[in-house]
Amino acid sequence: MRGWRRLAALGALAVGLALVGAFALGLVNAASDAAAMKVSAAGSAKIDPIVGPAGFGETGGDVAPDFDIGPGGAVALSVGDVLRTLDARAAAPELRPVKVLGAQPSSIALDVDGPMLGVAGGYFGLLQTDAAFAKAIPMTNPGMRLAPSPEKGVVFLFGGVSGDWRLYDATDQGDLHVLLQSDRPIVSAAEGPGGVYAATATTIMRLRAGTPQVLFTTPADFAGPIRSIAVGADDVLFFATDAKVYVLIGPNALSVVNDAGGSIRIKGERLYVLDPRRRLLFSLAPASAQLIAKDAP
């Protein structure tokens, strides 16, 4: 079994390179989509809209929940079962299809320095310069998903079957290590200075020395389920439902985005939110404890 960095010797395709020469599906004018892209957030948060319904509407099809942000602000995501990229820092971001030979990926994540990993055609592997995902590790369970790690050469892989759901870290040497076994579906994973975190639809856990420590359980009246988690560089944990984004303060959850949710990722000081329901991609800053700090007198 070969790891993805050994497969990279064949030539990895970074997301930024995928933008070159691709056919543009259309420019997104954020101003023309302003009403549909409006987001209500905590007072100290700065919201930057990236793509709204008008931009996603040109592509057709559903917006898949998994996405990631690479070097230079390149965003990878799937719309209508087609892998696409855009430049989040551009004044008018363009959604562009990425050429993929063979099966399109059902889930993606980016390594720290840009190469794209994916689950495609029943295998976990690297997107190569020949535009195909290498068949590095066979997936025995359908519906396996990926989540990025801040550690170079590591991504998280999670999924399973009824009663036996597992979270793995997958290394660039082709190794899988079980981090968590659960009798409930694992919906997201993330890593910060305090360790690895995992979430089910109702619970957020921190994994230390192989033991899960429950940090948050949704109360009976909570408008869940939990869909995604992300951890900032200062170990502040964010999580999202279909309609809101929260920051976890001790055992309590404080809403920082009140009318959008879905999937979240952190890159640098920015929290990126992909809302498949609203067909909306935006970023929020700062993705740190400064967001919840009281204003100085």
Domain membership flag for residue 73: yes
- pLDDT tens, residue by residue, 179-237: 999 999 999 999 999 999 999 999 999 998 778 999 999 999 999 899 999 999 899 99
What residue numbers bound the domain in which 183 lies?
4-291
Q: Length of the chain, please?
A: 297
Q: What is the pLDDT of residue 32?
A: 55
Instruction: Encode 96-135: b = buried (16+ Cβ within 10 Å), e = exposed.
Output: bbbebeeebbbbbbbbeebbbbbbbbebbbbbbeeebbbb
Q: What is the pLDDT of residue 12?
A: 41
Domain membership flag for residue 28: yes
Domain membership flag for residue 133: yes
Q: What percent of the chain has a predicted confidence (pLDDT) above 70?
A: 87
Residue 26 has pLDDT above 60, yes or no: no
> Which uninterrupted H or E stretch holds 107?
strand 107-110
Residue 297 has pLDDT above 60, yes or no: no
- Confidence band of 295 (pLDDT split at 50, 70, 90): very low
Domain membership flag for residue 237: yes
Domain membership flag for residue 191: yes
CA atoms of 184 and 166, how far apart (whole Å): 9
- Confidence band of 94 (pLDDT split at 50, 70, 90): confident
Asked if 126 and 116 count as a contact pair (C-beta separation under 8 A), the reply is yes
Q: What is the pLDDT of residue 80?
A: 93
- Confidence band of 29 (pLDDT split at 50, 70, 90): very low
Domain membership flag for residue 241: yes
CA atoms of 292 and 139, how far apart (whole Å): 40
State how far the alpha carbon of 62 is from the alpha carbons of 44, 94, 212, 245, in Å: 32, 17, 34, 21
Q: How many domains does the chain have?
A: 1
Q: What is the pLDDT of residue 3?
A: 57
Ranking 111-115, 244-248, 271-275 by mean pLDDT, the lowest is 111-115
Q: What is the pLDDT of residue 27?
A: 39
Q: What is the pLDDT of residue 172?
A: 85
Identify the CA nearest to 230 among candidates 257, 184, 199.
199
CATH number for the domain harbouring residue 46: 2.120.10.30
Dig out the tokens for 31 from the structure.
């101003």
More confident residue, 30 or 123: 123
- pLDDT tens, residue by residue, 137-194: 999 888 999 999 999 999 999 999 888 999 999 988 878 899 999 999 999 999 999 9
- Confidence band of 14 (pLDDT split at 50, 70, 90): very low
Domain membership flag for residue 196: yes
Residue 292 has pLDDT above 90, yes or no: no
Once rounded to an integer, what is the mean pLDDT over residues 246-265? Answer: 94
Domain membership flag for residue 296: no
